[in-house]
Structure 1
Amino acid sequence: MDWDATSAYTPVGLALRGQPAHRVVRTLRDAAYMLLKEWPSDDGEEYVTAVKACVDAISGEITQQQFWDAFLRAADEAGIAALTVVQR
């Protein structure tokens, strides 16, 4: 599994509360880092689902798109604004 692949989904910019800068998530690796190191809360149901989905995507048990959907639901639950990044 190439968890640095960028073709599975469109990059997204995340605006974390209390953070002066936004983060752009382009890969499964970026998303895993965000979940484990920079997520504002680790007790939400969608957060737990997204962490499990991340492990499942890395191991190939689910598609990266299925993980991405879980990741965006967790962002919504945490009040993180997610904006699609348009590539030129």
Structure 2
Amino acid sequence: MQRLGVMDWHRSEDFAPLMLVMSGKEEHRLVTSLREIAEALIVAWPTDDGEEYMAAVKICLDAIYGNIPAKAARAALIRAAEEAGIPVITVVH
């Protein structure tokens, strides 16, 4: 596999932003970067199991290391959210 190089995981130009509608303290969570995907999955996710959740964590890490595009991590986050019953809103600029 071709290595893309370590990504700037704070950059937001890599994919279109999205909003996760979660329960708890931070009900609406805006996700605009790989860093925010990682935070949502590790800090705010309502459960730590599920096939799509585990895949999203791995894919996010692969994207941070530059092995795959950031858009793949965004797509994995959406699949994990669907699995967990978390509504996703696409943010339009």
TM-score when normalising by structure 2: 0.87
Aligned to 1:33: 39
SS of residue in 2 equivalent to 1:23: strand
Structure 1 residue 63 displacement after superposition: 0.8
Q: Does 1:63 align with 2:69?
A: yes
Structure 1 residue 67 displacement after superposition: 1.2
Structure 1 residues without counterparts, runs of 5 or longer:
none
Q: Does 1:77 align with 2:83?
A: yes
Supply the distance in 1 between the matched residues of 2:85 and 2:23 (Cα, whole angstroms).
8
Q: Does 1:48 align with 2:63?
A: no
CA deviations 1:58-88 (Å, max 9, x no partner) are 111111111111111001101000001122x
Supply the distance in 2 between the matched residues of 1:21 and 1:41 (Cα, whole angstroms).
15
The CA RMSD over aligned residues, in Å, is: 1.3
- State how many pairs are aligned: 87
How many percent of aligned residue pairs carry the same amino acid?
A: 47
CA deviations 1:7-64 (Å, max 9, x no partner) are 1111111101355631111111011001000000111000000000011001111111
TM-score when normalising by structure 1: 0.91
